[in-house]
Amino acid sequence: MGAASGDEVWQGLISDIPIPGSVAARPASPQQVLAEIFGYGAFRGPQQEIVEHVVAGGSALVLMPTGGGKSLCYQIPALCRTGTAVVISPLIALMQDQVEGLRQAGVRAASLHSGCSSEETANTWRMLRAGQLDLVYLSPERLLARDTIERLAALSLALFAIDEAHCVSQWGHDFRPEYLQLSVLAQRFPAVPRIALTATADPRTRDEIRARLQLEQGRVFLASFDRPNIRYLLREKDDTRRQLLEFLEDHRGASGIVYARSRRRVDGFCRDLQAAGYDAVAYHAGLDGAVRSAALERFRRDSGVVVVATIAFGMGIDKPDVRFVAHVDLPKSLEAYYQETGRAGRDGLPALAWMVHGANDVPQLRRFIDDSDAEQQQKLVEHGKLNALIGFTEASCCRRQVLLRHLGEVMAKPCGNCDICLEPDTAVDATEPVRKALSAVFRTGSRFGAAHLVDVLLGADTARIREFGHQQLSVYGIGKELDRGQWRSLFRQLVSQGLLQADSERYAALGFGEDTRLKPLLRGDTQIVLRLPPVKRERLRQPGVRPISLELAPAAELVLLALKDWRREQARQQGVPPYVVFHDRTLVEVVGRRPRSLEELARIGGVGQSKLDRYGIALLAVLEAGFNLGIDERKPE
């Protein structure tokens, strides 16, 4: 014990001596580091408080949504405190991105994991001993391997950061047994601050993290879990494939994720997208490991790739410019939905969470739960989770309010950025359409699902209609007052109200339910009011529901493309993802503000000193060339 503290004193003494080029030579304020290294003008949300707390030597648990800016919460203290910061991170791809990003910003960072050659490893340790690294990223396996702890103990350490800290929780969804052993950090390094970070807000997980990492004394920083830049758009399931293609049409060229429930569906949708000209790749656990990593790599490095995936595709996706997450099947739970959609828009730019859902999904999911081998208690929990999810899909008030309430947050006002807020349903007297729908069910012999019934009502000319001679029916083509989406919604509501019943054994064929209103309705003795969505054409005309654009004039849009081409080339030469060079957000700002000098460029978010030195002149040249070209093209008019 005495020897150890003697050691610390001694290390404290030498680490205070500024050696040129060593860690100790960088005394700086958090504000300075934020501006000069990372190129940002202001802290976001609780960042400043967290940074100051850790710089002062405090430990902390930080709960912040994806894209909230957790990394800076430990990266800035790492640069303000004496010694090297050790970051524990569960995924190699994540570490590599972080290290590459830091190096671009001029920070001395390295990683130690199973993917490093022995030469790289030896070199990293040499630099650590020489005090030449600001941050070192370690996999938990590497931290716990052989003599790593002892070797770390011989260094001057600024802090420990434990990223994705929910991996320590057995209750959570990403449990990693190695994380349990991280309690060794508190025991072995009681004087080094520990900061644990996660995007999982669940109170039970939170308590487990605190206990396991011995953070009971540390402060807890809980940021709002709202992701205001994500627009939630839910749609009634009609023809999923067609709906998905229609949705994607507005987002050609954007990076996105499409989640489907099964491997077969993933492969099917992926083929559909490829056939429609999308750069789509499939990702699921049934694929060969090499195929999977190639897909992941394509997604990370290129922009405009759409990954069609099962939930196997998830953790470690820290690509900032994912513009949409689409669900063609219901997720497992509302928590899972939040996590999955949270992968969109980490850069803070507008992003979409789009999902189709239908009444037919629910009985199937219920059966999955009932037929599983789980304990009765567990089944109840699963049913409860499903109910919360259905409550979300069927909400008639703001989606975001429902979602946040589920995460334990109260949002006072509707958000204005979800389908419910943007496309208010209208309650109408639906008696006549309902009678038409019921007769269509009856006249076709209660043997068909909603899709076919809607075709009949709209008078569509399909192979099935011809096959069954349904164009002869009195109900054929009598429903033109509603559009397809409205009819689908109407049928769904009739099912959820019990007026119709879906036969899950027979391809969801609709038949009459037990409801006592049925007879009076058919006789015309009673009325029914339903909320129907506005017709599609009006929906598209609403300004709020336009496809996401970055709000640039057409000429500027071209300049942005030129900058992105230039960025892709820079990234390719260095073998890093494009967003490591500059984020979309930075390029958009560059085009919008059109800086004419390096000083002006430096004022743009995301342009720190190192990037300014490295890319500034070239970037300004591409920018000017782009604008001049645009002007020349316009001259002849």
Contact positions toward ligand ADP, by CB under 6 A?
Answer: 40, 43-44, 47, 64, 66-72, 318, 320, 346-347, 583, 605
Q: Is 135 in the site for Zn ion (CB under 5 A)?
A: no
Cα–Cα distance, 88 to 189 (Å, whole number): 15
Tell me whether residue 418 is exposed, middle or buried, using C-beta atoms within 10 angstroms of its C-beta: 0 to 12, 13 to 18, 19 or more: buried
State the maximum Cα–Cα separation within the chain, in Å, rounded to a whole number: 96
* Min CB(402)–Zn ion separation in Å: 9
* Min CB(234)–Zn ion separation in Å: 11
Q: Which is nearer to ligand ADP, 64 or 86 (CB)?
A: 64
Cα–Cα distance, 251 to 376 (Å, whole number): 44
Q: Which is nearer to ligand ADP, 406 or 583 (CB)?
A: 583
* Min CB(162)–ligand ADP separation in Å: 13
Q: Which is nearer to ligand ADP, 224 or 501 (CB)?
A: 224
How long, in residues, is the chain? 637
Q: Is 353 in the site for Zn ion (CB under 5 A)?
A: no
Kindly state the number of chain residues that form the binding site for Zn ion, as judged by CB under 5 A.
6
Cα–Cα distance, 626 to 566 (Å, whole number): 11
Candidate ranges 46-54, 146-154, 421-429, 603-611; the one touching Zn ion (CB under 5 A): 421-429
- DSSP line for 263-288: HHHHHHHHHHHHHTT--EEEE-TTS-
97 binds, among Zn ion, ligand ADP, none (CB under 5 to 8 A by kind): none
Q: Which is nearer to Zn ion, 280 or 398 (CB)?
A: 398
R_g of the chain computed on alpha carbons? 28
182 binds, among Zn ion, ligand ADP, none (CB under 5 to 8 A by kind): none
Query: Which helix (H) or strand (E) covers residue 221, if one does?
Result: strand 219-222
Name the token pair of 465: 């209609």
Cα–Cα distance, 15 to 25 (Å, whole number): 9
Neighbours of 353 (CB within 10 A): 25
Site for Zn ion in 183-212 (CB under 5 A): none
* Min CB(40)–ligand ADP separation in Å: 4
Cα–Cα distance, 198 to 301 (Å, whole number): 25
* Min CB(489)–Zn ion separation in Å: 18
Q: Is 456 in the site for Zn ion (CB under 5 A)?
A: no
Q: Which is nearer to ligand ADP, 316 or 485 (CB)?
A: 316
End-to-end, the C-alpha distance of the chain in Å comes to: 83
421 binds, among Zn ion, ligand ADP, none (CB under 5 to 8 A by kind): Zn ion
Tell me whether residue 80 is exposed, middle or buried, using C-beta atoms within 10 angstroms of its C-beta: 0 to 12, 13 to 18, 19 or more: buried
Q: Which is nearer to ligand ADP, 504 or 609 (CB)?
A: 609
Q: Which is nearer to ligand ADP, 225 or 491 (CB)?
A: 225
Q: Which is nearer to ligand ADP, 66 or 205 (CB)?
A: 66
248 binds, among Zn ion, ligand ADP, none (CB under 5 to 8 A by kind): none
Candidate ranges 35-43, 118-126, 398-406, 508-516; the one touching Zn ion (CB under 5 A): 398-406
110 binds, among Zn ion, ligand ADP, none (CB under 5 to 8 A by kind): none
Phi-psi region of 230 (alpha: psi -120 to 50; beta: other; left: phi over 0): beta
Are 171 and 208 in contact, with CB atoms under 8 Å apart? yes
32 Cβ contact partners less than 8 Å away, ≥ 6 residues apart: none
Q: Which is nearer to Zn ion, 234 or 588 (CB)?
A: 234
361 binds, among ligand ADP, Zn ion, none (CB under 5 to 8 A by kind): none
Q: Is 421 in the site for Zn ion (CB under 5 A)?
A: yes
415 binds, among Zn ion, ligand ADP, none (CB under 5 to 8 A by kind): Zn ion
Residue nearest to ligand ADP (CB): 69
Tell me whether residue 590 is exposed, middle or buried, using C-beta atoms within 10 angstroms of its C-beta: 0 to 12, 13 to 18, 19 or more: buried
Cα–Cα distance, 77 to 75 (Å, whole number): 6
Q: Is 161 in the site for Zn ion (CB under 5 A)?
A: no
147 Cβ contact partners less than 8 Å away, ≥ 6 residues apart: none
Name the token pair of 281: 């790749």
* Min CB(58)–ligand ADP separation in Å: 19
* Min CB(330)–Zn ion separation in Å: 20
- DSSP line for 307-375: EEE-TTS-TT---TTEEEEEESS--SSHHHHHHHHTTS-TTSS-EEEEEEE-TTHHHHHHHHHHHSS--
Q: Is 233 in the site for Zn ion (CB under 5 A)?
A: no
* Min CB(199)–ligand ADP separation in Å: 6
Q: Which is nearer to ligand ADP, 68 or 172 (CB)?
A: 68
Q: Which is nearer to Zn ion, 186 or 389 (CB)?
A: 389
Q: Which is nearer to ligand ADP, 72 or 307 (CB)?
A: 72
70 binds, among Zn ion, ligand ADP, none (CB under 5 to 8 A by kind): ligand ADP
Determine how β-strand 84-88 pairs with β-strand 509-512: unpaired
Select the residue interacting with Zn ion from 23, 159, 415, 601 (CB under 5 A).
415
Chain residues that interact with Zn ion, rule: CB under 5 A: 398, 400, 414-415, 418, 421
